[in-house]
Each structure stands twice: as C-alpha cells, then as structure tokens.
Amino acid sequence: MSATRYTYLGPAGTFTEAALRTLPEAATRELVPLASVPAVLDAVRAGEASGAFVPVENSVEGAVTATSDELATGTALMIYREVLLPISFALLVRPGTALDDIKTVTSHPVAQPQVRRWLAANLPDARWESAASNADGARLVQEGRFDGAFAGEFAAPIYGLEPLVTDIHDAANATTRFVLVGRPGRVSSPTGADKTSMVVWLPDDHPGALLELLQEFAVRGINLMRIESRPTGEGLGNYCFLIDCEGHLSERRVSEALMGLRRICPQVRFLGSYPRADQGRPTALRPGTSDEDFSLAADWLSRALDGRGEA
C-alpha cells in the first residue's frame, strides 16, 4: 500500500537508511531500498510510494548531482523534510579478523577520500578497491572477497560482521544532507526556522541575470544558504541554479522574492519550504522584512491610494 511506503537510495545498511530512520514516522512506514536516485524518485512519481529519501549533498564531496538533476527536471516533486547526518566510518570485518590480517579493503568511492588518511597511517599496505555502495562492500567482506569494508557501524549486524575500528573520518564535521521528497502538495505551516528550495533558469543572453536574481533576495533581506549550478543540457554556458534560502514561502519577504524571480526568469520551480535541520537559530530578520512590516506597508498603500495616507 503506497501511502505507507517510503523508497530510499539503497541498499539497506547505508548511511541513507540510517538517516531515514531518524525520522519518527519511519517507524511506521514500509522502507524500500532502490538501486538509483531516479528509481527512488520515480516510485513517488508513479504513486507507488508516498515518500522518497535521497542524499542531496555531502560536506566533503559536494552535491549529489543525480538528485539535483532529478529535482530540476521531469515531473515536479517537492521536498518536505531534511535530515543532516554526521558521517563516520567503521572498519567492518569478519569476526576474528585482526588489523594485521587486513590486506584488502573496499568501500563506495565517495568514502575513499574520507578514510584515506586513516588508511595511510594504520594500514599503509592495504589495497583499496571500489564497491557499488558501502553496504555492498560489507557484503563482499561477508563473502570473503575483501578483508575489510568501510561502512556505517550500523551495517555490521546486517552482514554478520564486526566493527574493528569505529569513528573513522578524515574531515572534521563530515556531514551528509538528505531530503524526504513527495508529490507536490499544499505547503505546510512555517515553524519559524524554515528553508525554501527552488530551481531557477536564467534568461538567455543576459550576462547580469545572476546578479539581478540574487538582488531579489538581497533587497528583501533574505540570506542564501546554498547555490548550485547545473547544466541545462542546452549547450555549454547554459546553467540553471538550485537555490536554498532562509525562510518559508508563506512569509511575505520570501513569496515576494520568488515572485520577483518568476518575473525575471523564464522558469522557476518551487521545491518546497520545510523545517531547517541544523540546530542553529535562523539569522535575525533584517528590519523591515517581517510579515508585520509587509502588512503595515500594505495598509499604508491602501490608505495612500485612497487619499488617506497620513490620516
């Protein structure tokens, strides 16, 4: 029954599953791992699942471009939640394996730069090879094809392995950001610490358009949190931008800015307003940009149009 089904980027035992399980509602959903980002999202588009959970960006590797491209094109989807997961690896081995026994290790290529320094210091002679996913690496260890796999500690029991070393990560604060995506629906109420995501296409032949676009945010005191350029497929030099900004579409400063983008740009795709997962408090509003300020200004306008500007 699709309403209770969430798809996610599999296989089971990856960080994606671990992140998904931090959502309270995950406990009551059927969680279905699928092999690719398009497959995960298409299941929602086809009505076979009510939610799709995919990685968006990693603080070391950058954007997950498959997710960016899927959100920017095809049938529109909407982001309802985000999850931030600190990334830390365990070295998983078959029970009984000691550090000295390890000659070969494996992991997803994305993991490799995050364990490189640890490897050089602790297993300088071990040979690393890539796996299709960290969980798949664990499976290969289970099958005896490698001696160790770098993966989340939570993957160990799934594959009958033991974490020999834990908390391995080269970059301090390595974090991956995931989003829960669904079919477009009514935007839920703001929480006071929200984020809004969108994709904008620049007008052709307008070199200053990116600056104009950013000024739609700046003039209304809205901070940008992320900007990612992606090719439009129309040839080199043609980009669309995935943008995350502070605030919620139901806030006046945000809605007015997005309408401004809509007037400038040939296409704007709204990707959702949802609660910020970072603990940080939102930046204080710039004076004159609260909903109350907008409301007072609208009252002022009505009076001015009516000849009662300073009654």
Q: Are 221 and 271 in contact (CB under 8 A)?
A: no
The residue from 111, 216, 251, 274 that contacts a second copy (CB under 8 A) is: 216
The residue from 21, 218, 275, 285 that contacts a second copy (CB under 8 A) is: 218
Stretch that binds a second copy, among 17-25, 92-100, 149-157, 264-272 (CB under 8 A): 264-272
Q: In terms of Cα–Cα distance, which of 55, 6, 1 is closest to 182?
A: 6
Applying the rule CB under 8 A, the residues between 226 and 255 that interact with a second copy are: 226-231, 233-239, 249-250, 255
Torsions phi, psi of 219, nearest 5? -65, -20
Structure tokens at 41: 């999202």
The residue from 57, 136, 147, 194 that contacts a second copy (CB under 8 A) is: 57
> Cβ of residue 106: shortest distance to a second copy, in angstroms?
15
Stretch that binds a second copy, among 9-17, 18-26, 140-148, 292-300 (CB under 8 A): 292-300
Q: Alpha-carbon distance 223 to 243, whole Å?
A: 11
Question: For residue 11, is the peptide bond before it cis, meaning its omega torsion is within 30 degrees of 0?
Answer: yes
Applying the rule CB under 8 A, the residues between 90 and 149 that interact with a second copy are: none
Measured at the CA of 168, the angle between CA 166 and CA 172, to 5 degrees, comes to: 135
Residues 72-91, one symbol each (x = binds a second copy by CB under 8 A, - = not), give ----x-x-----x-------
Applying the rule CB under 8 A, the residues between 150 and 209 that interact with a second copy are: 171-173, 175, 177, 183-187, 203, 207-208
Q: Alpha-carbon distance 19 to 40, whole Å?
A: 15
Residue 45 within binding range of a second copy, rule CB under 8 A: no
Give every CB contact of residue 132 below 8 A, 6+ residues apart in sequence. Answer: 108
